[in-house]
Chain A
Amino acid sequence: MTRHLRVDGPTHDDRLDHMAQGILGQPLNRLEGPLKVTGWAAYAAEARPANMVYGVLVQATVPAGKVLEIGDAPGALAVIQDKRMVRYAAQGMDQKGPTSGPDQIEYMGQAIALVVAESFEAARHAAQNIAVRYKVSSVPVEPEAVTPELPPKKQSAAGDVDKAMREAAVTLDQVWHTPSQMSAAMEPHAAIAEWDGDQVTIRAALQMLSSNRKQMADALGIKEQNLRLLSPYVGGGFGSKLGINAEAVSAAIAAKELGRPVMVAMTRQQVFDLAHRRSETRQRIRLACDADGRLTGIGHEVLVSNLPSSEFTEPVAQATPFTYQAAHRQVVHAVARIHRGCAGSVRAPGEAVGVTVFECAMDELAEAAGIDPVELRLRNIPDVEPTTDRPFSSHKLAEALREGARLFGWSNRKPTGQQVEGEWMIGMGMAAAVRVNMLVESRARVTLTQDGQAVVETDMTDIGTGTYTILGQLAAEMLGLPIEQVEVRLGDTNFPPASGSGGSFGAASSGNSVYLACEEIRGQIAKAMDCDEADLTLQDGMARAGNVARLLSDLIDGQISGEGHLQPGKTEKSHRQATWGSHWAEVAVNRWTGEVRVRRMMGVFACGRVLNEKTARSQCLGGMTFGIGIALTEAMEHDSRDGHAVSRDLAEYHIPTHADVPPLEVHFLPERDAYVGPLQAKGLGELGICGAGAAVLNAIHNACGVRVRHLPATPDKIVAGLKD
């Protein structure tokens, strides 16, 4: 039986707080941790089906045009050119395959064919040396070189920001630039495809199996039922594995053609060419406020880029309409159609760079208005969503700001440039954290056997986030079992389709489906106990109601199972759902070299119910680390002549290292959000990123007086603003 819930209204009943097992929320270690550290958790490219051969993608060496002819590949088994091969990855949640037809080249590095050989080395050698004849076209690759599109649906305005700017006591009008960024997951994209008649099984590195299956079936021109995807372990995704990409599609095509299993694994350099990049952004922010710091005007004008044929555009100003109030407001969202690699979702698309820049602007306004940055924010928090008058599902920004200021010791902050230790100038900065919250349809099945073992099955993925663990904890809590008696099976499209991992919605969406499946089972147990489900207590394998207590094994005949099915509903529209927090940083800036060292960093977050204190905290640590990356180190540079990504490995693309990251402090504000399903839990992973970089950049200003508006703040840019 399936327990179905559409979230059309609030869940005020905190029943998960009153379950007996007491395991939900506990800081359990990751269930699959031992498998991972001992190497037993097999990633996509780690299977070795008999008779397998290796494919390596051939990439275009021109920025645009047409493939006229591809030469031979001595030493290879086959050179596969198939019009179903895709030009770039599908976007997250696409229901169809991405643009196919690899002959038409849209960017330098695009996959145009696949070479297959008996060894990876032979395939790679052939792919690197194959002769290709092109008809080359000349195309724009720089965002500022074209007249951008202004998609009508993405523009919004109320009042008159120009007028607000003219009449305000204090104003700010500045332009920021952020570079392209790469998700840079540890595991490069890889797939192994194997056919059995008209059935194909693909082991792949993917985040969202149920939509990936639709994309793949469409791309290959086969029925969904004939396709099984397996992604039990994924070595990080950060958006780059939301949609299927060239490696998995071409592996399936080649495996069919050769009648042998085919592995296609991208090299690290190929990941930089072929995975979605986050678009570079140009952001003009205008702010107007009265003498007391109350905002009267907010303008956020954004320029992003993507290929002409891709629909995705980085939703940079997504949080701008509801973070602060102002009577006059304008969002401009412009898209430059250029031929750099395809842009898509990378770690908190939108807010990661939008909130970061906006929160830098707020810091500049606070300085101009002579108001403490925390106070400026507190004075502008809206009661309802300003653009729509919708209520917020919950709102913890003020609390996160006040609590953060207290915990971080904000009152010790000195005026700009006043704290010096040897060569180092010290400063503190802060920023608000905000990220939209989403729920996505999700299903799960839970089976409880007579011997008290529960099995959770869903095609949800665990991309290193802790899904195995939190879903196990949920089932253990709901069914009253020790965690050792719960097995979680993920990453297989034979299981009920889940939300997948993306947009921070995975834990809450799939968690709610497991909750519902367990409710269904509880209902069946209650029936056997002859009581109301609400009166049932399950703990350590015992069922109790009133003064009756029975062993679960006595109540179950064989096994019982239930499915849970969660759908987002009216609360999506009736309430503005978001997660809130605050970021705090203390940095040291070297007065000679402009090097920045983050000395202390703290985040305060409200994300509804915390399902596992430890995995939740780890998510925030990762997010804050990416915030440091956005502020200080990460930049994917493009050659201005052909648009190609110049830094294509992890030595040159600078993710923060341990030495760049101080011990990070994370605090959660207790919260239950009633409008996001019975779990009362919201998304978390990405919130840690949104604004974190601004705290660092604002701290740099407090330390040395330099505002860096071309991110990242590398030594060259700081030094440019320092005195001799």
Chain B
Amino acid sequence: MREFTYHRAASIADLSPDATIIAGGTNLLDLMKLEVMAPPALVDITHLDLGGVEPEGEGLRIGALVRNSDLAAHPVIRRDYPVLSRALLAGASGQLRNMATTGGNLMQRTRCPYFYDRRMACNKRDPGAGCAAIGGVTRNHAILGASDHCIATYPGDMAVALMALDAVVEIDGPTPRRVPLADFHLLPGDTPHLETVLEPGEIITAVILPAPPGGQHRYRKVRDRASYAFALVSVAAVIATDGGRISHAALAFGGVATKPWRDPEVEALLKGSEPSDALFREAADILLRPARDWGENQFKIPLLRRALIATLRDATGMETAA
């Protein structure tokens, strides 16, 4: 670990473009020990007034410091946004969720093992160095949204559910602004070191949820062990049916793409249609049209397809999962 200064922020004004925010520390500290991240200055935001889950309009405002475990257990979240609660509970472990914050979770970095290993070339860690993952062990890399510069997945679960809920990220800084989550994470392109639209000196202060969407909520996470593993593939689904037809369909995908993934064409196909296996297969075809594999992660293409079909069958009442 490199030496760094530590400062506890008393107000948002204490933030500076030179200091890296630390919240729960569950991701940042691991990376600092390995010197994958080596910030010279840390600013601890855990004493700022950024907690609380409050009504905002017809929706909710979730403070950036709300812990993952508290958010998952929040009665309004469980009642009105169960997909979020389920996604949170599918992530990490109880101990980690007790520490992890809403803002930190959105900002968590990839688990690409080559990113974590400073012996290996990595464009994300060291722009221009090359990507050691390509040609190496790519089992858990992205099939969607990757570039020849970086094929790492966005690993989180919470953001996948938030995508399906049309969440908006509230940002404070020199110019306070709100950014739809769909626009918050960036594709790697040829700048994989740039992961979000957040600028130095800015902070996530809250996540805003619109009015509850109703319908059936599912979060299906397929992973290598039953708990405490990142997704191979995950599907967040909010589906409503009306008179035998799908009236609302919001779908987001994790573990497969370089950012929380959503495909409007898939949803457009589903909306207004009668649920059927043929329809779901067509939805999967559309979703996977841009998919590209890197060898070992080829299996994610059929697995994502199957996970999507199973989730849709389940959410539309064609089959119960349990």
A contacts, CB < 8 Å to B: 61, 108, 121, 124-125, 128-129, 267, 269, 422-423, 590, 592-595, 597, 632-633, 637-641, 644, 646-648, 651-652, 654, 656-660, 714-716, 719-720, 724
Considering only residues 211-250 of chain B, those with a C-beta below 8 Å from chain A are 220, 222-230, 232-233
Nearest chain B CB to A697's CB is how many angstroms away? 16
Residues of A within 8 A of B117 (CB): 644, 646, 648
- The CA-CA distance from A590 to B306 in the complex, in Å, is 11
Q: Which residue of chain B is the closest to A109 with respect to CB atoms? A: B119
Which residues of B (9-58) have their CB < 8 Å from a CB of A? 33-35
Does B126 sit at the interface, judged by CB under 8 A? no
CB of B159 closer than 8 Å to a CB of A: no
Chain A residues within 8 Å of B229, by CB: 651, 654
Q: Once the chains are docked, how many angstroms separate the CA of A647 from the CA of B135?
A: 16
Q: Which B-chain residue is minimally distant from A720 (CB atoms)?
A: B299
- 8 A-B residue contacts at CB 8 Å? A423-B314, A593-B306, A638-B137, A648-B116, A648-B117, A656-B225, A657-B225, A659-B226
Given contacts A592-B310, A593-B307, A719-B306, A125 and B113 within 8 Å (CB-CB):
no
> A593 touching B227 by the CB < 8 A rule?
no
Residue B263 at the chain A interface, CB threshold 8 Å: no
Asked if B291 is at the interface (CB within 8 A of a chain A CB), the reply is no
CB neighbors of A among B288-322 (8 A): 299-300, 302-303, 306-307, 309-310, 314, 319-322
* Interchain nearest-CB distance for A342 vs B (Å): 18
Q: Are B136 and A639 in contact (CB under 8 A)?
A: yes
**Residue among A61, A646, A654 making CB contact with B225, cutoff 8 Å:** A654
Given contacts A592-B309, A593-B306, A646-B113, A659 and B225 within 8 Å (CB-CB) = yes
Q: Does B193 contact A (CB under 8 A)?
A: no
- Return the contact of A422 from the options B113, B223, B227, B321 (Cβ within 8 A): B321
A660 touches B225 (CB 8 A): yes
Query: Are A719 and B227 in contact, CB atoms less than 8 angstroms apart?
Result: no
Pairwise interchain contact B2-A715, C-beta atoms closer than 8 A: no
A639 touches B1 (CB 8 A): no
**Given A129-B35, A592-B309, A659-B227, residue A715 in contact with residue B303 (CB < 8 A):** yes
Total contacts A-B at CB 8 Å: 107
- Interface residues on chain B, number (Cβ under 8 Å): 42
In contact, B35 and A423 (Cβ under 8 angstroms):
no
> Do B299 and A719 touch across chains, with their CB atoms under 8 A apart?
yes
Q: Are B1 and A121 in contact (CB under 8 A)?
A: yes
A108, closest chain B residue (CB) = B119
- What separation, in Å, do the CA atoms of A724 and B302 have in the docked complex? 9
B113: chain A residues within 8 A (beta carbon): 646-648, 652
Measured CB to CB, the nearest residue on chain B to A714 is B224
Residues of A within 8 Å of B3, CB to CB, are 125
**B307, A592: Cβ atoms under 8 Å?**
yes
**Cβ contacts B142-185/A at 8 Å (1 or 0 each):** 00000000000000000000000000000000000000000000
Tell me the smallest distance from the CB of B173 to a CB of chain A, in Å.
31
Across-interface contacts of A597 in B (CB, < 8 A): 226
Neighbour of B322 across the interface among A61, A129, A422, A637, CB < 8 A = A422
Chain A contacts for B310, CB-based, 8 A = 423, 590, 592-593
Task: Provide the residues of chain A in CB contact with B232, threshold 8 Å.
Answer: 714-716
Q: 6 other contacts beyond A595-B223, A632-B225, A659-B225, with CB at 8 A cut-off?
A: A124-B33, A125-B2, A422-B319, A593-B233, A637-B137, A716-B303
Q: Mark B107-147, 1 if CB is under 8 A from A, else 0.
A: 00001011011110000000000000001110100000000
A647–B226 CA distance with the chains assembled, in angstroms: 18
Collect the chain A residues with CB atoms within 8 Å of residue B321's CB: 422-423
In the bound complex, residues from chain B placing their C-beta under 8 Å from that of A638 are 137
A715 x B226 contact (CB < 8 A):
no
Given A128-B35, A593-B310, A637-B139, do A719 and B119 touch, yes or no (CB 8 Å)?
no
Known: A124-B1, A422-B322, A644-B119. A716 touches B35 (CB 8 A): no
Say yes or no: B119 contacts A658, CB within 8 Å. Answer: no
Whether the Cβ atoms of A633 and B299 lie closer than 8 Å is no
Bound together, the chains give a CA A413 to CA B251 distance in angstroms of 39
Query: Which of B3, B119, B226 has the most chain A CB atoms inside 10 A of its CB?
Result: B226
Q: Which residues on A sit within 8 Å (CB–CB) of B35? A: 125, 128-129
What residue of chain A has the Cβ atom nearest to residue B118's Cβ?
Answer: A128
Q: How far is the CB of A142 from chain B (nearest CB, A)?
A: 13
Across the A-B interface, give the 5 residue pairs with the lowest CB-CB distance, nearest first.
Answer: A592-B310, A716-B299, A659-B227, A659-B226, A646-B137
Of listed A121, A638, A646, A724, residue having the most chain B CB within 10 A: A646
* Among B117, B225, B320: residue with most chain A CB under 10 A: B225
B-side contacts of A639, CB under 8 Å: 136-137
Q: Are A641 and B226 in contact (CB under 8 A)?
A: no
Q: Closest approach, in angstroms, between the C-beta of A138 and any C-beta of chain B?
A: 16
Complex Cα gap A437–B302 (Å): 46
**A660 lies within 8 A of B227 (CB):** yes
Query: A262 CA to B252 CA in the complex, in Å?
Result: 52
Alpha-carbon distance between A121 and B29 when the two chains are bound, in angstroms: 13
Chain B residues whose CB sits within 8 angstroms of the CB of A128 once the complex forms: 34-35, 118
Q: B306, A423: Cβ atoms under 8 Å?
A: no
Minimal Cβ-Cβ distance residue in A for B311: A592
Query: Please, how many angstroms separate the alpha-carbon atoms of A61 and B117 in the complex?
Result: 10
B224 contacts across to A, CB distance below 8 A: 633, 654, 714-715
Tell me the complex Cα distance, A658–B230, Å. 16
Considering the chains assembled together, what is the distance between the CA atoms of A7 and B220 in angstroms? 59
Write out the residue numbers on chain A whose beta carbons fall within 8 Å of the beta carbon of B2. 125
A267 — which chain B residues lie within 8 A by C-beta? 33
CB atoms of B34 and A269 under 8 A apart: yes
- Which residues does chain B contribute within 8 Å of A715, judged by CB atoms? 222-224, 232, 303
The distance from the CB of A59 to the nearest CB of chain B, in whole angstroms, is 8
* Docked pose: A602 CA to B39 CA in angstroms: 51
> Which residues of the partner chain A approach B300 to less than 8 Å between Cβ atoms?
716
Nearest Cβ distance between residue B296 and chain A, in whole angstroms?
Answer: 9
Out of B222, B228, B319, which one reaches A595, CB within 8 Å?
A: B222
Q: Across the interface, which residues of B come within 8 angstroms of A659, CB to CB?
A: 225-228
